[in-house]
Chain A
Amino acid sequence: MFAFILKRLGLALLVAFTVSFISFSLLFLSGDPAAALAGETASGEDVEALRRLYGFDRPMMVQYGDWLFSALRGDFGESYYFKLPVASLIAERLQVTMTLGVCGILFALATAVPLGVAAAIRPNSLIDRVALFLSVAGQAMPSFWFGLILIVVFAIQLGWLPPSGASSWRHFIMPTIVLGYYAMPAIMRLTRAGMLDVLNSDYIRTARAKGSGEMRVLFKHALRNAIIPVVSLAAVQMGFMLGGSIVVESVFALHGAGYLAWESIARNDLPTVQALILVFSMFYIVFTFLADVLNAWLDPRMRSA
């Protein structure tokens, strides 16, 4: 187990290192970040001044090394737009995004697991069909459109919920539903498939044969085993969701890290964009690492991977 964790940790660090290099070099795609920053109307002298001010005149690898070592110390430089340290800017905005992410995954689990279990208990029943319909529709639903429809219905027509902002828990209801619905189909399908698999296994037949009650069989014996892969999928989905919250945050004007990313991209605020790509990637890497360790802990067969 210890060897597995060590090996997996090494891989995570290597991935993190590579991602950091990619997210840094992405912004050199334009060829000249100083010219991009100065804008089209700037004179040659202005561009030169900017280039020296931000150190773009140094070799790219030197700039990368510099950026990486500062980043490791938690210093992502200063935002071009806000003139504030990027790290504190992101830390402040992450609270909203993390709240949204946690609510979203809880919503997804709270709907997907019961539905998946119910669908597996009675395959091809009405509830199975409803669950299938919800998951197929969820995978095809453009989240920005779903969000706008919720706003039209619940904020404008019915007036039950505030359309945008993040000042109270009621502001988080619609974004949570939209983000959670995005993660629901995969979790539901896995729960259903896992339950079906387990319910056909010998030990369930044994449990029934020895006279255990149906509830006990389902929840004590079956769900416990079927839920193992679901937990790690949920961790992976959480990583994806934080990256995907950019769309949801912009629809509901939730001023979280995703919204910050969108604004910063539009404003050419390179240090903020670089830092945000890195931060979102790190979340994904940490969550998948935790998922793998959890899997290996619960199921020793996974440790050889």
Chain B
Amino acid sequence: MTDIADPLSAEIQGPSPRQMLKSRALSHKGLIFGLSVVLLLVVVALFAPLLAPHDPYAQSLMNRMVPPVFMGGTWEHPLGTDHLGRDYLSRLLYGARVSLMIGAIAALISGVIGTAMGVAAGYFGGKVDAVVTFLINVRLAMPVVLVALAVVAILGGSLTVVICVLGLLLWDRFAVVMRASTLQISRRDYVAAAQVIGASTPRILLTEIMPNVFNNLIVIVTLEMAHAILLEAALSFLGLGVQPPTPSWGLMVSEGKNMMLFEPWLVLIPGAVLFVLVLAINLMGDGLRDVTAPEGRS
């Protein structure tokens, strides 16, 4: 499937001693950078009402398109104002909430669906596996952006709809990776031992399989969160995602697009923040993979 499945399906060894894990994590620059940026943005999103200098929805037609402070503006509006005179920094801070919330909840929904399917396919094999593999194939054949746009257009754009649509569309990678990891683990002797002593299937899945595929799961959660954030921004950019006046970074790029000729910072700023957030989440995910399964590093 994708390149992501390969290193993860590599042999997974037992949990390494905590100390080794910690020292590996602390010496991994990408992980530290990614984690710091993500934590910073989470704090910003949580405390947006305290940090924002203005109301992100308050319009002021007298103060339209004030340039940011580094382009000759004043500290009254550090990142300037948009075409309706709304403070850009405040909208950016509130936009972090939208992105992170959509990313986290969509990854949670798709994670539950994909993990259930993948673990079932990997553990039970046979017909269950055939059905799950078939469903993965069907899902991959559907163009995500197109289907998401169509569904949002039909149901009406709102945060809830966007989150649900993305959650129901992005489970494929979870299913692929969890299926492969479960397949590996379920061949281990300790799983056979659990079966022999008569442990029930739910017990084996919860106490033998899940803890051993958990590291891989966390990596996919981060990567899919980044994926969902990018897709939300793209949908909002195309006008069929989060609806105005909600401050979404994709929407801000789209609103700034018409003034791009004279005020390029209207497009540059929200896009750059989006890029940095997604980059940080991806680095965090890649870092977690290197740290938790160093033998799978390519």
Contacts and interface: CB of A to CB of B under 8 A. Distances in A.
A188 to B, nearest CB: 9
Interface in A278-293: 280-281, 284-285, 288
Interface stretch (B180-188, B195-203, B264-272): B264-272
Interface in A124-155: 136-137, 139-145, 148-149, 151-152
B142 A247 contact: no
Interface residues of A, number: 55
B275 A26 contact: no
B279 A144 contact: no
A36 interface: yes
A18 interface: yes
A30 interface: yes
A148 B237 CA distance: 12
A186 B5 CA distance: 12
A242 B145 CA distance: 11
A279 to B, nearest CB: 9
Contacts of A243: 143-146
A145 B6 CA distance: 30
Interface string A223-261: 000000000010010000011101100100000001001
Contacts of B286: 136
Given A140-B226, A142-B230, A196 B298 contact: yes
Contacts of A18: 134, 138
B282 A277 contact: no
A266 B253 contact: no
Contacts of A236: 1
Interface string B225-241: 01000100110011110
Contacts of B141: 15-16, 19, 281, 284-285, 288
B155 A247 contact: no
B84 interface: no
A93 B264 CA distance: 31
Interface string A49-69: 000000000000000000000
B5 to A, nearest CB: 11
Contact of A136 (B238, B267, B268, B283): B283
B142 A142 contact: no
Contact of A145 (B138, B149, B275): B275
B150 A273 contact: yes
Contact of A277 (B1, B146, B253): B146
Contacts of A196: 298
Contacts of A242: 143
A152 B282 contact: no
A266 B147 contact: no
B137 A11 contact: yes
A277 B3 contact: no
Given A27-B150, A142-B271, A145-B271, A262 B138 contact: no
A179 interface: no
Chain B interface main SS type: helix
A280 B2 CA distance: 19
Interface in A12-44: 14-16, 18-19, 22-23, 26-27, 29-30, 36
- Which of B146, B155, B239 has its CB near the most chain A CB atoms (within 10 A)? B146
B143 A27 contact: no
Interface string B273-298: 01100110011001000000000001
Contacts of B62: none
Given A137-B279, A233-B3, A277-B146, A151 B154 contact: no
Contact of B150 (A193, A233, A265, A284): A265
Contact of A281 (B143, B250, B260, B275): B143
Given A142-B234, A152-B267, A266 B153 contact: yes
B134 A250 contact: no
Contacts of A140: 226, 230, 275, 278-279, 282
Interface of A: 11, 14-16, 18-19, 22-23, 26-27, 29-30, 36, 136-137, 139-145, 148-149, 151-152, 156, 186, 189-190, 192-193, 196, 233, 236, 242-244, 246-247, 250, 258, 261-262, 265-266, 268, 273, 276-277, 280-281, 284-285, 288
Given A144-B238, A246-B238, 15 more contacts: A15-B134, A15-B141, A18-B138, A22-B138, A26-B151, A137-B275, A144-B233, A152-B264, A156-B261, A186-B2, A190-B3, A262-B238, A266-B153, A266-B240, A285-B141
13 contacts: A11-B134, A14-B134, A27-B150, A30-B154, A136-B286, A144-B238, A144-B253, A151-B260, A152-B267, A186-B3, A266-B240, A276-B146, A277-B150
List the 8 closest A-B pairs by CB distance, nearest first: A243-B143, A145-B271, A140-B279, A140-B278, A280-B143, A193-B298, A281-B141, A30-B154
Interface of B: 1-3, 6, 134, 137-138, 140-147, 149-151, 153-155, 226, 230, 233-234, 237-240, 250, 253, 257, 260-261, 264, 267-268, 271, 274-275, 278-279, 282-283, 286, 298
